[in-house]
């Protein structure tokens, strides 16, 4: 029998992927993602501001055991090392990645976890202001990153992208736009990963002001981090991993266009 994590190639298509500043080839695979066994209910979780209105985190979004199971599963995927020399306009980033278009997994990550409830729980008016429109769910462009010792993601801004959103309850695709980046950390110092923090650099409020101190998101197993992107994106980076491995699942919040 084929290993559980071996991707079954469905079709290959070239699209403009919504990775930061990158136009990449994106392939459509069908993966046997492990099920989300026990997760904390939304009532026990909170969207906590790391920087109000700009960077929010959800601790324990995934359990330690689920993260462990996913790292094992994802390690079986054919990740490819990104070239050290970026194309013009791209951030230097050295990590191993796997990217796929998977509307079913995006939907599970949205509805099969506390995410939908927490995001929509802010209320209708606040939804518009905070998330930038009527939230539809998560971008089906799923990116998996593995950073080993010495790997990093240099300072950059994440682009907003126009995408078509396939709702599970509708046949017709909905024109959508990404507004926030979602990062889900599967490892931390508890799993032997040192370094790798995601660091944000807020702009000074005026030309005469000194730049505010950087905001450091320390790795936490199972923590989700959301940050505004597109025009409102803060300069940020994934610091170099100095020991062990950092694993991240990335998607984006999509709103109706
Ligand atoms: O891995 C990180 O900490 C940051 C990743 C990132 O900035 C991105 O995916 O655009
Ligand atoms: Fe980024």
The residue whose CB lies within 8 Å of the most ligand 1 atoms, and thus the one to mutate among 248, 252, 253, is 248
What pLDDT score was predicted for residue 16? Answer: 34
What pLDDT score was predicted for residue 118? Answer: 98
What pLDDT score was predicted for residue 30? Answer: 74
Six-digit token pair at 62? 């995934």
As for ligand 1, residues whose beta carbon falls within 6 Å of it are 20, 145, 153, 158, 181, 183, 198, 236, 238, 248, 250
Q: What is the mean pLDDT of each run of 10 residues along the chain (257 residues)?
A: 45 35 51 92 97 98 98 96 69 86 95 98 91 96 96 95 89 94 98 98 87 96 98 96 98 97
What pLDDT score was predicted for residue 84? Answer: 58
**Does the pTM exceed 0.80?**
yes
What pLDDT score was predicted for residue 167? Answer: 83
250 Cα to the center of ligand 1, angstroms: 8
What pLDDT score was predicted for residue 128? Answer: 93
Instruction: Tell me whether 0.90 is exceeded by the ipTM.
Output: yes
Q: Could you tell me which residues come within 8 angstroms of residue 176 by beta carbon, excluding any fewer than 6 positions away?
A: 136, 162, 163, 164, 165, 254, 255, 256, 257
The residue whose CB lies within 8 Å of the most ligand 1 atoms, and thus the one to mutate among 147, 201, 238, 241, is 238
What pLDDT score was predicted for residue 29? Answer: 61
3 Cα to the center of ligand 2, angstroms: 31
């Amino acid at each position: 029998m084929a290993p559980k994590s071996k991707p079954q190639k469905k079709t290959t298509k070239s699209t403009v992927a919504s990775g930061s500043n990158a136009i990449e080839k994106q392939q459509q695979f069908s993966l046997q993602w492990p099920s989300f066994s026990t997760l904390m209910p939304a009532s026990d979780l909170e969207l906590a501001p790391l920087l109000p209105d700009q960077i929010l985190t959800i601790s324990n979004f995934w359990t330690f055991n689920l993260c462990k199971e996913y790292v094992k599963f994802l390690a079986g995927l054919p990740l490819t090392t990104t070239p050290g020399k970026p194309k013009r306009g791209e951030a230097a980033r050295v990590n191993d990645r796997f990217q796929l278009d998977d509307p079913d997994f995006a939907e599970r990550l949205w509805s099969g976890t506390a995410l939908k409830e927490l995001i929509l729980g802010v209320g209708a008016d606040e939804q518009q202001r905070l998330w930038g429109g009527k939230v539809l769910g998560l971008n089906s462009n799923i990116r998996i990153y593995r950073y080993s010792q010495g790997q990093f993601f240099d300072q950059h801004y994440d682009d907003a992208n126009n995408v078509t959103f396939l709702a599970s309850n509708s046949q017709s695709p909905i024109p959508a736009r990404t507004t926030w980046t979602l990062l889900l950390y599967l490892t931390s110092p508890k799993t032997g990963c040192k370094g790798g923090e995601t660091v944000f650099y807020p702009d000074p409020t005026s030309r005469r002001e000194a730049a505010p101190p950087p905001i450091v998101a320390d790795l936490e197993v199972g923590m989700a981090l959301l940050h505004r992107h597109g025009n409102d994106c803060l300069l940020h980076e994934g610091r170099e991993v100095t020991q062990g491995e950092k694993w991240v699942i990335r998607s984006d919040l999509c709103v109706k266009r």
